[in-house]
Amino acid sequence: MKVAYITSMKKGLPSFIYREIEMLYDQGMEVEIFSLKFSQGLYMPKKDWKYYHFNPLKIILLQPLYLLKNPFTYLAGLLEALQTNSIIDFIIANFYAPIMKEQGIARLHCQEGLHAVFIGYYCKKFLNIPLSLMVHADALYINPNPKFAKIAFAACDDVLTVSHYNREKIIKDFGLPKERVSVLRLGVEPQKFTPTERRKIMIVGQYAARKGHDTLLKAIKELKRDDIEIWIVGAGSWGKADFVDVEGLVKEFGLYDKTVFFRGISEYLLCMLYQNCDIFCLPSRVSKDGNCEGIPVSLMEAMAAGKPVVSTWHTGIPELVQHGLLIQENDYQGLSKALAKLLDDDALRAQLGEKNRQTIRKEFSLVDNVNKLAKYFKEGTCA
């Protein structure tokens, strides 16, 4: 069954709607997203999800075409839209309905927000397919069009809501029969919030070839362990030639269920991640175009947090990682063994982590090195 989700993507999808759609796909259902507002956000549709948004000017210019194709339906809907002050919703529905028909949508489902159900109301009229609405909160308390809201609610085959309190309010405020209003709770996945014994292996950096994400992922796959989790922090690269599709590799290697991606995070959250990971790994290497690392700051940050690090014999890294495990570039099997050694030895992790912290304090303190830079500017020497 194909279901059209009519919802807002003002800052991407709301997290709970994203997870809901994700699980529906897992159950074999196809969900296509028709957005009211659209901009990038934390939870964006996956690559294989279909979603649609509109250009306001374009859909206005297309209205004469919809009139010519279905003059009686269009004029009847236009008259109702003028009478109910819902002309914008009518215009958007005229744009989305043909797409829904072409895609074989079998059911309309509106998520929160009255404009979603207003658009759904007209789409149902055009397509003659079932319409349902999920009410969380806003639609009960922010109502810009009370007259049309009652009409749209009444047109829904089912109204779902998250609480019995909401159910009673919907029945009372919108005059719906009790049998058409049901409680369907939101939910979370308990296993995601259960304390875990998984060891966290963290990598920070752009999705660039020289960072060695693929070497790390191959090493993790080689380990064949269920007691680890990969934290991948970062995104993008300086250019297309250097870019590595890290998320694609995670899926290719079958590691998606033990990987967490962090993108666009604050420095405060980054510090928290350093403090809570168990091992930091950056298997740097020379990229195909000859690009190399200097001394990666992410290694310094992890060492300052007192974490054991695994890296490579690459450019200046050995000058920093004096008490860690270094492997040859691209040696994923060697990296796998180094990670296994740390994963199985709590005392070694603590010992190396403390030595790393001391290294940063002695040689890689920002305050000390900026003081040296200031001295250079003033005196011409940083000795």
Q: Tell me what pLDDT residue 102 has.
A: 96
Q: Tell me what pLDDT residue 370 has.
A: 87
Q: Tell me what pLDDT residue 288 has.
A: 86
Please state the rounded mean pLDDT for residues 123-144: 92
- How many helices and strands, by DSSP H and E, does the chain display? 18, 13
Please state the rounded mean pLDDT for residues 312-318: 94
The more confidently predicted of residues 281 and 291 is: 281
Which residues does residue 30 pair with via DSSP β-bridges, in sequence order? 2
User: Strand, coil or helix: what is 8?
Assistant: strand
pLDDT of 148 > 80? The answer is yes
Q: Tell me what pLDDT residue 150 has.
A: 95
| Class of residue 352 by CB neighbours under 10 A (exposed 0-12, middle 13-18, buried 19+) | buried
Q: 39: left (phi > 0), else alpha (psi -120 to 50), else beta? A: beta
pLDDT of 130 > 90? The answer is yes
Q: How far apart are CA 31 and CA 50, in angstroms?
A: 8
Instruction: Confirm if 202 and 281 have CB atoms less than 8 A apart.
Output: yes
Containing H/E element for 161? strand 158-161
pLDDT digits (tens, 9 = 90+) for 205-228: 999 999 999 999 999 999 999 999
Q: How far apart are CA 352 and CA 278, in angstroms?
A: 12
Q: How far apart are CA 337 and CA 317, in angstroms?
A: 20
Q: Tell me what pLDDT residue 207 has.
A: 93
Quote the percentage of the chain above a pLDDT of 90.
79
**Averaged confidence pLDDT in the chain:** 92
pLDDT of 117 > 70? The answer is yes
Please state the rounded mean pLDDT for residues 103-126: 94
SS (HEC) of 330-377 = CCHHHHHHHHHHHHCCHHHHHHHHHHHHHHHHHHCCHHHHHHHHHHHH
Q: Tell me what pLDDT residue 239 has.
A: 64
Instruction: Confirm if 116 and 8 have CB atoms less than 8 A apart.
Output: yes
Q: Kindly indicate the confidence band of residue 98, based on its pLDDT and cuts at 50, 70 and 90.
A: very high
Instruction: Confirm if 297 and 325 have CB atoms less than 8 A apart.
Output: no
pLDDT of 195 > 80? The answer is no
pLDDT of 282 > 90? The answer is yes
pLDDT digits (tens, 9 = 90+) for 4-40: 999 999 888 988 899 999 999 999 999 999 999 898 8
DSSP E strands in 209-359: the ranges are 228-233, 259-262, 279-281, 309-312, 325-327
Assessment of whether the complete model's pTM goes beyond 0.75: no
Q: Tell me what pLDDT residue 125 has.
A: 95
Instruction: Confirm if 147 and 154 have CB atoms less than 8 A apart.
Output: no
Please state the rounded mean pLDDT for residues 132-154: 91
What domains are defined for the chain?
A: 2-183 (3.40.50.2000), 196-371 (3.40.50.2000)
